[in-house]
Each structure stands twice: as structure tokens, then as C-alpha cells.
Amino acid sequence: MTPMPAMSLAAVPGRRARTLELAGEIERRGFPGIYCPSLSDGLALCEDLAFATRELTFGTSITPIYTRHVQDFANAASFIHEVSGGRFRFGIGVSHGPALDRLGIEPGKPLGDMRRFVSDLKAVPRAGQLPPLVLATLRRRMIRLAEEIGDGMVFANGARSHMADSLGVLSADARDGDFFIGNMIPTCVGDDRAAAAAVNRRTLTSYAMLPNYRNYWREAGYEEEMAGVEAAIAAGEPDRVPDCLSDRWLADTTLFGSPAEVREGIEAWFDAGIKTPIIVPSSANGGQFAAFEEFFSIWD
């Protein structure tokens, strides 16, 4: 029987109360975890999840480390950890250059900034006990750092075929023990396989515009696709980017198709070494709530 994955959940303005009701439904259906992206303040959503749920694990996936003072982060994370009875995981990351540019933030080197942030977070006085720290990772140096200074790691849009190489830099204790290893996976369930694939391709096109993701996917064996993306960007033709993203690449980074295909894909992610696949549902027929209903249906 396919193990159940965790779910990605975001609370957008105007739908926050309904999102908390959905969190209760996720727990009632037996999914083991909920992880909240930075969209619309995932940390605030996690504070509510401490009371809206009773047993499942939840966390951020991820919170950018630059958007609040480290003392504020330490107090908020410790509070959620305490009132949830230790069910919270604090996922943190360095975000992306274009997103930071929009906020007027000038970051330093990702590895140095992350190391400094974790050190400063742990040094905040009288904050209380911190939750496990999960670092956003793509490439090997950040993966090594996650094991060195954190309690887990989480990919977003990782390539399944590249996982053996990526996870190979971890110790056996990390791969086999309690060290958190997650991946956020864009997922669209639908018998119209082409329509479901198109949804995921649209979702990941914006990521293909980011240099750090192109570098990762190039490392994962998609040199031709990433060269095509860069040529389209250089030519001032961003509309051509989706055409550069092959079906092979899409099947390696996302899940789409019939319920049976998606469940088989989830099993493959577990087999690839991802202990906690985090499903990011989308729908070809509606919004977030329709996407969850379609995903729930494959477990009925």
C-alpha cells in the first residue's frame, strides 16, 4: 500500500478560515504532515495549525531568513514549537535573487548567510526551546550544511533521477535516521494527462527563470533544456521558455495524470530516498480547493 505523503498548504487572503478547515480535513484523512510555503506568511499559518490540528507534524517550507529579525524568528518559532507539543518544524531558506531584489534585500553568500542565521537563532536569549531546523536545499554544499547545522533538509521541485547523487553526500545516519528529508512536488491529478502536464509546466516555468534552479537542473542532466531557457531569456522571448522544458524533465520533477499514475509516482519518490514527499496540488479544473478534492479522491 502506498504510504501517504504530506501536503503543502497556503492561506491566501480571503480564504484563511476556509484553509484552516481544510487543514482539519487533511488531518482527519490521515495525512502525516502539512508544510506551508512562504506565500501569504506560512509562519503565521503554522501558528494557527498548532491549534487547528492535534496530531500531525507541520512546518514551514520554507521561510526566507531575511524577512524578519532573527530575534523575532526565534521567539515565534519557539512559541509554535511549545504550544504544538513539539509538532512544528522550522523550514528556512535563502530564497531567490529576484524575490530579494523586489524586497530591497541585498544578501551575502547563501552558505555563509545560512550558517550565520542558524548560529544567531540559537543564540537568542530567553527565546525558549527551538524546533527542529530544516534547511531548504538544492545542491550538494547546502545539503552538507543541512546535516552539519540542522535537523533536516527540503527540496522544492527536485529531480527524482538525481536524488541518489544528491543524497549521497549525507551520512548513513542522516539517510536512515530521524533527519528530515522532504521534497515539494507539484502535482495535478486528472485523466486528461496532457491538461494535467500543462498545469505543472506552467507552475514550474517561473522556477526555470531563476538561475539557481537552472544550475541545479543542469547538474541533474538537463543541460539542453536549461540552455534553451537561457537562450530564450537572452533573446527577450520569455514566452518560449515552456517550450524548452521537455516532457522527460517534467515527469522527473512533478506528478501528473491518473490517480494510479500519481500514486505510483509517490511510491517512486519514497523509493528515491525522500522520506517526506510534500504534495503541492494544482488542478486543471479549478483552484486550490478543487485541487485538494481531486487529490483526496485517489485515497478513497
DSSP result, 52-98: H-SSSEEEES-EETTSS-HHHHHHHHHHHHHHTTS-EEEEEE---HH
Domain spans of the chain, in order of start? 6-204+253-297
Share the mean pLDDT of the chain: 96
Among 35-44, 118-127, 169-178, 233-242, the least confident range: 35-44
pLDDT value at residue 194: 97
Q: Which residues pair with 187 in a beta bridge?
A: 255, 281
pLDDT value at residue 1: 77
pLDDT value at residue 106: 82
Q: What is the mean pLDDT of residues 221-233?
A: 98
CB 246 within 8 A of CB 200: no
pLDDT value at residue 38: 87
pLDDT tens by residue, 59-93: 999 999 999 999 999 999 999 999 999 999 999 99
Q: At 212, is the pLDDT very low, low, confident or very high (cuts 50, 70, 90)?
A: very high
Architecture of domain 6-204+253-297: Alpha-Beta Barrel (3.20)
